[in-house]
Amino acid sequence: MYIQDKDVVGKQTLYEILGLAQDCQDHEIRNAYKKLLLQNHPDKNGDEIIRINEIQNAYKILIDPKKKKEYDETLERTFQKQGFDIYGEGLDEYDLNDFNEAETEEGELIWTRDCPRCQAENSMIISEASLEHNIANSHDETGSYAIIVQCESCSLWIKVKYYDTE
């Protein structure tokens, strides 16, 4: 079974259908499945065939290690395209070395990269001036700095780490 990105966009995830966290164990999947089947049985709640089918589909995928791994990978790709970090750590983080360095006609250095979500060419831009201005802010314990950059095409925000070389 191949799971496509369109299968998870704008819908409840299979984990949400079963009321589980993504790091759940097999026994939790089985317990949630049995509980939801009982709660949504047509004899108890009238015509719940669609809900039962969702529950059964979620169970079939999540209980099979191979299908679950494939689903998790598809889910992660989909959330990344939407600009979400499914691990709850905030913005996706990049290094300034992930950007291409160039010089403007005015002689200022800029760094650009294609957007990881919409793939628009060179739509994420960092100027030398914005890096220098940001250095005035505090840095973390490793001596690195972070700046937030927005895609000019789709509005995705990312965090870019860099170091002061002076």
The least confident of 5-19, 75-89, 136-150 is 75-89
Instruction: Read off the pTM.
Output: 0.46
Predicted local distance difference test score (pLDDT) of residue 9: 42
- Token code pair at residue 122: 């060179």
**CB distance 102 to 109 below 8 Å:** yes
CATH of 5-81, picked from 1.10.10.10, 1.10.150.20, 1.10.287.110, 1.10.10.410, is 1.10.287.110
Rounded to an integer, the average pLDDT of 88-98 is 78
The secondary structure of 71-92, three-state, reads: HHHHHHHHHHHCCCCCCCCCCC
Output the DSSP codes for 144-160.
EEEEEEE-TTT--EEEE
The predicted-structure confidence for 62-81, as pLDDT tens digits, reads as follows 999 999 999 988 877 776 65
To the nearest whole percent, how much of the chain has pLDDT over 70? Answer: 77
Looking at every residue in the chain, the average pLDDT score rounds to 79
Instruction: Give the residue range(s) of CATH 1.10.287.110 domains in the chain.
Output: 5-81
Predicted local distance difference test score (pLDDT) of residue 75: 79
Predicted local distance difference test score (pLDDT) of residue 160: 87
